[in-house]
Amino acid sequence: MTETVEHLRDFNYYKLNQNVTHVLAEYIWIDGTGERMRSKTKVYLTPITQISDLEWWTYDGSSTEQANTKWSEIYLKPVVYVKDPFRGDPHILVLCETYLPDKKTPARYNFRWIANEIMEKAKDFKPWFGIEQEYFLLKRTGTTHIWPLGWPTGGFPYPQGRYYCSIGERNNFGRALAEAHLRACLNAGIKIAGINAEVAPSQWEFQIGIAEGIEIGDHLWLARYILERLGEEFGIDINYDPKPILGDWNGSGAHTNYSDVKTRGEGGYKYIVEQLIPLLSNTHKEVLKLYGANNEKRLTGHHETSSYDQFSWGDGSRGGSIRVPVITKELGAGYLEDRRPAANIDPYLVSAVIVDVALLNSTYVNQLKQLLVQSAKPLA
């Protein structure tokens, strides 16, 4: 909301001198909504060369819906750091897990700890991920009304069909933001694999991958952080709602591409079709709860989605829950695409449950669901 004041969008309005040796560490965490991130800056007087140089920190959990006022301290445990693409070298972004003061009990909406456990157990199978994160760009009028960027206020543009991977003034909205995001992620060292304009006007997608195990969650959350911060500079909202606009407009998903040594090895395609897909089919109703709140509004069977309550799959088909790409069939081995997850997922949960179902006999599925249900309960 800083539109009318000059310079207030220029994060680098004032430059740090060359001879200042401090390192600015931006500690980032997931808040009590499970969908948004928060961050604050810590000034370090010494260089940071490894994760153990970064200290645990605390914050006011009662201001982020993760604690009440009486016992408000939440601890931040640094787990991954990347370069800060906004402040430049040597400054860093530090992704953190959140804990209660005993430093052992995870705070509300911290799912990384259990995803990490699961990935450790399954690490010999080398589970690889690529996630296609879709999102809408929204422009705010006043402080309340939001509508997609480029859409006529209070109205609708031409129907879909012309916007996917489009170029040109009439069909492509917000490329500068998507491009800035791509570059910022690359500068930071995030494993971003590509971008494209999506089917709905003002909808975009970026892909994170190939990431192994816990990396996918880390890189996706950091990429989201960078996108939201860029949105600030452009004055644009980032929206991950599975179905932001009702009607004949696409929703936003986070299709998750998956493979492991079994699917990538000899006979992988057969393994996928005969063993893996049945496993996924059997657990469909259970895992869907972890695939994004309000996802039923998006998985309608139209707009290249499958129906919410039915499991289906097909070679090269975009109308099923799972798509097995034609190349996997052709090569006899490769990966599959789970098209069920919505754009607002927690990637730790989704990657963990896929690994659990595929490799660990679904031993954790119930626990993962429980954790999500617990986090979703309002604070006592």
Partner 1 sequence: MTETIENLRDFNYYQLSKAVNNTIVLAEYIWIDGSGESLRSKTKVYQTQIKTLEDLEWWTYDGSSTDQAVTRFSEIYLKPVRVIKDPFRGDPHILVLCETYLPDKKTPARYNFRWIANQIMEKAKDHKPWFGIEQEYFLLKRTGTTHLWPLGWPTGGFPYTQGRYYCSIGERNNFGRALAEAHLRACLNAGIKIAGLNAEVAPSQWEFQIGIAEGIEIGDHMWLARYILERIGEEFGIDINYDPKPILGDWNGSGAHCNYSTLTTRSEGGYRYIVDKLMPILKENHLEMIKLYGQKNELRLTGRHETGKYDQFTWGDGSRGCSVRVPIITKEQGQGYFEDRRPAANIDPYLVSAALVDVTCLNGEHLKQLNSIFEDSLKPLGQQIFQQQKEQFQQQNQ
Enumerate the H helices of the chain as residue ranges.
Answer: 112-121, 175-188, 215-234, 261-264, 268-271, 277-282, 284-288, 326-331, 347-359, 365-376
* Residue 145 sits in the site that holds partner 1 (CB under 8 A): no
Q: How far is the CB of 161 from partner 1 (least distance, A)?
A: 29
* Vertex 203 angle, CA 308 and 4, to 5°: 130
Longest dimension (CA), the chain: 62
Q: How far is the CB of 45 from partner 1 (least distance, A)?
A: 9
Q: Which pair of tokens denotes residue 23?
A: 């390192």
Q: Which x/- pattern, by CB under 8 A, does the window 18-57 give for partner 1?
A: --x-x-x-----------xxxxxxxx--------------
What gap in Å lies between CA 27 and CA 312, rounded to an integer?
Answer: 41
* Residue 105 sits in the site that holds partner 1 (CB under 8 A): no
Taking CB under 8 A as the criterion, the residue among 53, 212, 232, 304 binding partner 1 is 232
What gap in Å lies between CA 315 and CA 327, rounded to an integer?
Answer: 9
Taking CB under 8 A as the criterion, the residue among 80, 178, 236, 349 binding partner 1 is 236
Enumerate the H helices of 80-214 as residue ranges.
Answer: 112-121, 175-188
What gap in Å lies between CA 345 and CA 149, rounded to an integer?
Answer: 23
What gap in Å lies between CA 133 and CA 300, rounded to an integer?
Answer: 19
* Residue 369 sits in the site that holds partner 1 (CB under 8 A): no
Taking CB under 8 A as the criterion, the residue among 228, 286, 296, 304 binding partner 1 is 228
* Residue 180 sits in the site that holds partner 1 (CB under 8 A): no
Q: How far is the CB of 176 from partner 1 (least distance, A)?
A: 15
Q: How far is the CB of 24 from partner 1 (least distance, A)?
A: 7
Find where tokens 């970064």 sit: 54
Site residues, partner 1 (CB under 8 A):
1-2, 4-17, 20, 22, 24, 36-43, 58-60, 62-65, 69-73, 101, 140, 142-143, 225, 228-229, 231-232, 234-238
